[in-house]
Each structure stands twice: as structure tokens, then as C-alpha cells.
Structure 1
């Protein structure tokens, strides 16, 4: 038995659906509505939380954008825990991952604000701060997801003994 071939962005996840046939295209969309809806709602929740953090801890022009760095690192830490729990510990409802993982955490963590912050720093005459921020966010985000996933896996294994 062979492993299923991974799908690409342009092909449907259901091999019986031919997107060149309009009726099947419509049928494929109908099956995705609930997923799109929970991602949208989760995204609104996550983006609102990120916006709230920027109001509580605003960054001044030209200064290091600590709030965005910590939001991204915290979001990645939660992603590390969440992904271990829903893949190794319990079978989540089919809408949990799109709602929380893609929606809430995708809306909370922010590549767009990260990129805009770097652009503002560089264009504002602070290229070293922009470069430091670029590197620090990348390191913090990757370290956060790796550390929390590793710790969560170990805690789950220890608890199951």
C-alpha cells in the first residue's frame, strides 16, 4: 500500500471532484463553508487580541517593536502546544484546528505587522534596529514553537507512563 499523494493548492482534496465541472466546483465549495466560517471567526478573535495588545503596549516610532515580537513568540508557543495536543493526544473535532490554529492563532500572530514594522524602522533611519528585530522575531518564534512542542511531548509521554 502506498501513502496518499499530497494535494497541491490547485487541486481538490476529494479525488472524485473535478473542478473543471461547474456543478462539482459548487459542490466542493459547499463542503468548505463551515471551515471558512470558523477560520473567519477565529481570525477576528485573534486579530482583535493582537490589536488589543498593541493598544496596551504601544511602540513609539523608531523604537524596537517589542509588542509584536512578544505577540508572535507567544502565539508560536501556543501553536507548539496546540499542535502536539491535537495530533498526539486527542482527536479534535474537524473544525477545532481551522478555528483555533488557522483562525485565532493565525490572526493573533502577524507576519504583516512584522513586515510593516521592519519597513518603518528601515525607512525611518533605523536599519540596525530593523535588522535586529527581523532576526530576533524569527529566532523567538522558532524557539518558542520548538521548545513548547518538545516540552508538551515530554509531559504527555511522562503522564502516559
Structure 2
């Protein structure tokens, strides 16, 4: 139960970080381009890489801590960083076809399902 509460707390902090950074960027750059989301996703990739490297190579923290940081905080901050990390792992493993399928699939299927959801929402 303690792990679940820590993941929820980390998730809350990630959500607040996303909201704050996205809002600041939106105020600076305006609403013409989704710069807030762009910035959060890019920053999330950097933070995910730093966190993974530090947790795995320097601190040797227990798996529960990795879950709290990467799933809790980073998952709430941006899932895009996980998507990029997993795709990079596929590329590093020489699995180019899987990496392409992951990128294309998530973008195309995600867009199709968004449109389906918008349509279904209008029918309700």
C-alpha cells in the first residue's frame, strides 16, 4: 500500500509539473502552436534519460524506487518520454521494424481512435 501511495504522490507532482511548465510556455509563446506540450514532452525525454541513467548506473536504487520515479512522476509528467525510451531500446537492439511499427502504429492508431472517440461522443 505504501508503494501505491508513493506512486500516486509522485504522479501528482508530475501532473503539477506538466501543468505549470505547459502553462508558462503557453503564456510566453501563445496558443498558435502547442508549444507547452512540445516543451513538456522534450523536457520529459531529457528527465527520463537522466533519471534512468542515475537510478541504474549511479545509485543502484531498488526496483520500487524506479517505479515510483519513472511510472509515478514521469508517467504523469509525460508518457511521451516512455514511448521514446522504448523506441530507442528497440533501435539499440537492432529491431528497426518494431521501432517503426511502434512509432507509426501509435501515431496512426492513436489518431484514428481519437477521431472514433470524438464521433462516439457526439452519438451519446
With normalisation by structure 2, the TM-score equals 0.56
Is 1:35 the counterpart of 2:3 in the alignment?
yes
Is 1:54 the counterpart of 2:17 in the alignment?
no
User: Deviation digits for residues 70-121 of structure 1, max 9, x if unmatched?
Assistant: 111111111111112212222214432122111111111155xxxxxxxxxx
User: Deviation digits for residues 5-30 of structure 1, max 9, x if unmatched?
Assistant: xxxxxxxxxxxxxxxxxxxxxxxxxx
2:72 alignment partner in structure 1: 103
CA root-mean-square deviation: 2.7
Tell me the distance in 2 between the aligned counterparts of 1:41 and 1:96.
13
1:1-161 maps to which residues of 2 (within 5 A)?
Answer: 33-58=1-26, 59-60=30-31, 63-110=32-79, 142=84
Tell me the distance in 2 between the aligned counterparts of 1:54 and 1:79.
17
Q: How many residue pairs align between the two structures? A: 83
Q: Can you give the 5+ residue segments of structure 2 that lack an aligned partner in the other structure?
A: 89-124
Tell me the distance in 2 between the aligned counterparts of 1:81 and 1:51.
21
Q: Can you give the 5+ residue segments of structure 1 that lack an aligned partner in the other structure?
A: 1-32, 112-136, 147-161
2:100 alignment partner in structure 1: none
| 8 Å contact kept, 2:24–2:36 | no
Whichever of the two has the greater Rg, that structure is 1
| 8 Å contact kept, 1:38–1:95 | no
Moved over 3 A (4+): none
